[in-house]
Structure 1
Amino acid sequence: MATVWFTVLVLATGVERIVELVISKRNAAWAFARGGVESGTGHFPAMVALHTGLLVGALAEVWLLDRPFLPWLGWPMLAIALLCQVGRYAVIGSLGRQWNTRVIVVPGLPLSRRGLYRWPWLRHPNYWIVAIEGVALPLVHTAWITAIVFTVLNAVLLLGFRIPTEERALKAAAPAPA
């Protein structure tokens, strides 16, 4: 029965990702209408594949390898995964129209300093949330292979491509000093 509930959780997470894509598309249109410039289009398909792979991999591992639900691990990981959803929407709320699944920056628009972005020492809170969720969600039902593979590939993608691309785009579009 736990496997069925885990499947419902993963499918609900997939629906949440579709909601994110709708928000992202709306925000992208807003940004492009204001002169937004997109960067990093080359790595975006890999990000989509990786995030889809997290959901598919977790389900496949649980069902095909008959992973058990271990309450001492599953319940805390469920709490963390759910907190990540709260954090994700805190990020979306903090960035408002500037939030996007792609790297689209409107030149001259100041960076958000609200919510999770008000602390300069917390760089890229959205990526921290994604990294934590990538471990927690599969471990709700002991899909440890998926958790490890996602974590390694996500680190390569974020540190090697996404974060440097985003940093360059934000620096290039920063408003001129007064």
Structure 2
Amino acid sequence: MVTWFSIVFAFVIMQRLFELLIAKRNGRHMVKLGGFEVGGAHYKYIVLLHAAFFAALFLEVFVRGHESMTPYGAPFALFCVAQGLRVWVLLSLGKFWNTRIYVLPGSAPVTGGPYRFMRHPNYVVVALELFTLPLAFGAWLTALLFTALNALVLRVRIRAEEQALIEVTAYAEAMGGRERFLPTLKK
């Protein structure tokens, strides 16, 4: 039976697979330009986190018998907003967007789009999705557990990303006045 959950779940899985293709293409492009990957050692944990998230979401929704429910309005609306923000991030970063961390020495940091307001809008999108998608279908354990796990992984990832960007680009100067996750409206 086709349900809201099956449609949304399939959409997000397809979206992630498409993003992996974009990331692979963008990674090759960055390497051609002289870029390189950093923080590769923790990438497997990010992949594991997201794979486990989808498995847990699927299981919790079905164990609770919520697979045929209409999604709760507020969390589902926030999830939809996150999808719009995701597209904005992808378009703003262009060839610089990736699921891995690539840096291109001497390149100008992206400061347009949502990056005008904060340093890490993509991670805000991911955090919103990991919290709101499960809540939309009553899977609150998945929402809480994976929000906490994501925060732990992001502590490592953001440290590696920012350190690499500071070392080889003008990241500190370009992004210094912006918060990591909260919008800064000055400038």
TM-score where L is the length of structure 1: 0.89
Contact 1:68 1:142 in 2 (8 A): no
Q: Which moved more, 1:26-35 or 1:60-69?
A: 60-69
Q: Which moved more, 1:104-113 or 1:51-60?
A: 51-60
TM-aligned CA distance change 1:173 to 1:103, over 3 Å: same
Match of 1:22 in 2: 21
Contact 1:88 1:126 in 2 (8 A): yes
Looking at structure 1, the residues matched to 17 and 57 of structure 2 have their Cα atoms a distance apart, in angstroms, of: 18
Specify the code of the residue in structure 2 equivalent to 1:173. V
Match of 1:174 in 2: 169
Specify the code of the residue in structure 2 equivalent to 1:126. N
Match of 2:184 in 1: none
Shift of 1:56: 1.7
Shift of 1:7: 2.1
Looking at structure 1, the residues matched to 137 and 30 of structure 2 have their Cα atoms a distance apart, in angstroms, of: 39
Match of 1:102 in 2: 100
Aligned residues: 172
Where does structure 1 lack aligned partners over 5 or more consecutive residues?
A: none
Shift of 1:155: 0.3
Contact 1:69 1:140 in 2 (8 A): no
TM-score where L is the length of structure 2: 0.85
Stretches of 4+ aligned residues off by more than 4 angstroms = 68-71
Other structure's SS at 1:113 match: coil
Q: Deviations over 1:13-42 (max 9, x none)?
A: 000001111111111011000111111111
Counterpart of 2:72 (choices 60, 71, 74) is: 74
Q: Does 1:149 align with 2:145?
A: yes
Shift of 1:67: 3.8
Where does structure 2 lack aligned partners over 5 or more consecutive residues?
A: 174-187
